[in-house]
Structure 1
Amino acid sequence: MKVFYDHQIFSWQKYGGISRYFTELMSHLEDFGITYENSLLLSDNIHIKLLKKCSNGVSLPQFKGKIRTYNAINKINSINKIRKSEFDIFHPTYYDPYFLKYLKRPFVLTVHDLTHERYPQLFPKKDNTISLKRDIITKANRIIAVSNNTKKDLIELYNIPDDKIDVIYLGYSFNDLITETVHHLPNHYILFVGQRDGYKNFSTFLKAFAYINKRKPDVHLICTGTNFTIQELKLIKSLKLDDRITSMFVSDSQLNYLYKKALCFVYPSLYEGFGIPILESFALSCPVALSNASCFPEIAQNGGSYFDPTQPNNIGECVLQILNDNVYRQMLITEGHKLLLKYSWKKMTEEIAEVYRKTIQ
């Protein structure tokens, strides 16, 4: 059997959970007797660059319109390969339905979350993701949901039959535990990872951190990812937290170091499809405080300490319990280690391979 993956997520995402998902999937397929091809000609994605036996995509210097150019050229190549149909099954990497009029083979779609559908008010009015997703979700031969929560949303919002959806959890690899020292860190800090806009609920969390800092003045906040926006800086200044919050862009190995040294990791999102940072925290013995929302209780189970993401004081009290109670802190770490054993990229790939087989039977 041969699977074809297209360009979409790798054209515009430099790093992130979805491109990591497909890279890990491709890297393990041979173990289950499946070959694959992708259509990348141009890409800056750091995950795909590490993948062997793959047309990993050439990177170009920065220029205006770079992402649009990448997408246009890669899409043309994808269409040409789809027309040739030299594969048994197609697995698109995102929700653009461009391929529907060319495809002669069955296709499987992974739905990572339905955040746009649940929180449309948090996205720009011109965002057409929902209409694109509706077209592709309703036409897929089979759908992979990354959590039972996502499956429930698919049934409720799109009326997809239960037996058409397979729930397959994402994975984690202990090969990811390489650490690289990050220098000049504060002695005591909590960690926030990744994007901060919209449903990530960062502004509410900043107010929660102000609550924490009043009670624990020596505790800092480290955020990984892009620099703070003007609006974020204004809020940080208004909360008098200028000297307690740092933003930094780090490599995966440096992020591992940050997890390892943090007092806890806080995940205040209003909605997620799965939440790979939960598994990263478990692996690196970092206690997790997270929202009692969407998939989080399903994925983190007894390994997480839960709060109401709409209430800054409740978030603050949840984090303070971890900081003040060493027995509770250690219990979370122990439970996290136990839970991590059920998540692996190889197990995920084995289950997806079975979905491929039953789709073309």
Structure 2
Amino acid sequence: MRIALNATNIFRSEEVCGVGQYVINLLNGFDQMGCLDCFRIIVNPEVRKVFERELPGLRAKNAPYPAFLDRLRWKDGFFRQLYIERRSVPSFHRQEKADILFHPFMAQSVSVSKPSRTVVTAHDLFLRRFPDQLSKRYYHMLDHSYRMTLLGATRIVTPSQFVKNDILNYYPEVPGEKITVIPNPVAINLTETTPYNLPTPYILSVNAIRYHKNLITLIKAFERIYRLIDHSLVLAGPAIKSVSNGIAQYIEEKKIPKVFITGYLSDTQRNTLYQNAALFVSPSLCEGFGITPIEAALFGVPVITTRETSIPEATQNLLHYYEPATDDTRLSEKILDVLQKEPDPDRMRSIQETFRKAYSPQTIARQYWDCFLKTLEVD
């Protein structure tokens, strides 16, 4: 079996997070299976730089496109990506004579790949749940693109049953039988750390600073209790400027001390923060899977998160939860409650082992491989 992998839209910079981390973890899983040579990979310039750093020796081909498209920066290079997916990727697929074209994200133009067998990963339907976070024009463009992609794909993979249900709810014309649920792979090297100087003890949140990550609720909860605890609050992750500016302004106006915003961190720096955290909190409103609470638990850190969307499913109801997600009073009470209790080491080890077995890259890669084989059987 030969698989053409479209990796052209998994990074928009050299910062590895989200979909990009998922693809790297998945490729590592295929490598552990011994079948990485079955993949033919097409990338854009940003992805190539990251792959050379994270996956040395991996062979990939640059996607050709007209140079002037680099000057059209609307929506993170929307038009460049549209050209690549309509022209470069289908051409690459034909040249490689691949059996399957795999888009590990919601590609914009799956329909032009027909009659190829295509597998698409739909990570979430953020645009449907938070339409007011997009302009009307961009929302309608994406909504149309999503519908065409979901209808055009031979098989759809979702990281949770929740996302599958979302697709069937918002796009009822999509046949449910062609949707396969496969969790995201989670890979953490517990021994690879880089020193990062922060005062301890601290409460940690690793999330992109975006609206739906709901970090303002965590800030308000910390505001209620910072006088009662010795802990600082550390927010780590890449930021959308408008959201991070709003958070910084709130912290300044309310004069909340002991809050550290690190920005994007490397994997080894992030591991150091996990390793030394007293508590991890993820107050997210919407996740297709939700990887960071699982990562923190793998480090043996107590975790508080929400019961929103796919989070209880992905975390298997094994962590600490509070609700409603936007209630900072409830969150502050839960933080105090968890901090006052000594973690049960046997329970923490059990959670670690459960997540390690369920979400190891090789385990998830095998499920994808089975999905690819079933896709080949489709008439």
Task: Output the TM-score relative to the length of structure 2.
Answer: 0.84
**1:271 shift after superposition:** 0.7
Partner of 2:340: 324
Matched with 1:5 is 5
Instruction: Compute the RMSD of aligned alpha carbons.
Output: 2.7
Tell me, in whole angstroms, the C-alpha distance in 1 between the residues paired with 2:350 and 2:327.
Answer: 26
CA distance in 1, matches of 2:171, 2:82: 29
Which residue identity does 1:140 align to in structure 2? A
Residue deviations 1:5-24 (CA, integer Å, cap 9, x gap):
12432352542121122223
Asked whether 1:287 is paired with 2:302, we answer yes
SS of the counterpart of 1:234?
helix
Moved more, 25-34 or 279-288: 25-34
Q: Contact conserved, 1:222 with 1:248, CA < 8 A, in 2?
A: no
Q: Any residues of structure 2 matched to 1:190-339 within 5 Å, and which?
A: 190-216=203-229, 218-226=230-238, 229-308=244-323, 309-327=325-343, 330=345, 333-339=348-354
Is structure 2 residue 358 aligned with structure 1 residue 358?
Answer: no
The 1-side partners of 2:351 and 2:249 are apart by 36
Q: Note the alpha carbon deviations across 1:129-170, whole angstroms, 9 max, x for none.
A: 322111101221111110111122122222233322211112
Structure 2 match to 1:179? 193
**Which amino acid in the other structure matches residue 149 of structure 1?**
F
Question: Letter of the aligned partner of 1:244 in structure 2?
Answer: V
- Residue segments in structure 2 that go unaligned for 5+ positions in a row: 64-69
How many residue pairs match? The answer is: 355
1:43 is the counterpart of 2:43: no
**Counterparts in 2 of 1:53 and 1:7: CA distance versus 1, 3 Å:** closer
Identify the residue that residue 95 of structure 1 maps to in structure 2: 106
AA of the residue aligned to 2:287 = E
Residue number in structure 1 paired with 2:67:
none
Deviates most, 123-132 or 147-156 = 123-132
Shift of 1:175: 3.6
Which deviates further from its counterpart, 291-300 or 78-87?
78-87
| One-letter amino acid of the structure 2 residue matched with residue 119 of structure 1 | F
Residue 354 of structure 1: how far off its partner (Å): 0.7
Change (3 A) 1:26 1:16: same
Query: Is the contact between residue 11 and residue 20 of structure 2 (CA under 8 Å) also seen in structure 1?
Result: no
Paired AA for residue 20 in structure 2: S
Matching residue of 2:24: 23
Secondary structure of 2:117's aligned partner: coil
Range that drifts further, 71-80 or 127-136: 71-80
Q: What per-residue deviation string (whole Å, max 9, x for no partner) do you get for residues 191-231 of structure 1?
A: 11121222111222211111231322x22111112467332
1:107-143: CA deviation from partner (whole Å, max 9, x where unpaired) = 0111111222122123343433322111101221111
Which letter does structure 1 place at the counterpart of 2:282? Answer: Y
**Greater Cα shift, 9-18 or 140-149:** 9-18
TM-score by length of 1: 0.88
Conserved? CA contact 2:4–2:96, under 8 Å: no
The 1:11–1:104 alpha-carbon spacing in structure 2 relative to 1, beyond 3 Å, is: farther
Question: Counterpart in 1 of 2:66?
Answer: none
Alignment CA distance shift 1:219-1:28 (3 Å)? closer
Who is 1:118 aligned against? 129
> Does the 8 Å contact 2:5/2:103 carry over to 1?
yes
The answer to whether the 8 A contact 2:6-2:103 is kept is yes
CA contact (8 A) 1:213 1:219 kept: yes
- Say whether the 8 Å CA contact 2:7–2:47 is kept in structure 1: no
Instruction: Give the percent of matched residue pairs that are identical in Structure 1 and Structure 2.
Output: 23
1:78 aligns with 2:89: yes
Judging changes above 3 Å, is the alpha-carbon distance between structure 1 residues 74 and 142 closer, same or farther for their aligned structure 2 residues? closer
Write the distance in 2 (CA, Å) between the matches of 1:265 and 1:32.
35
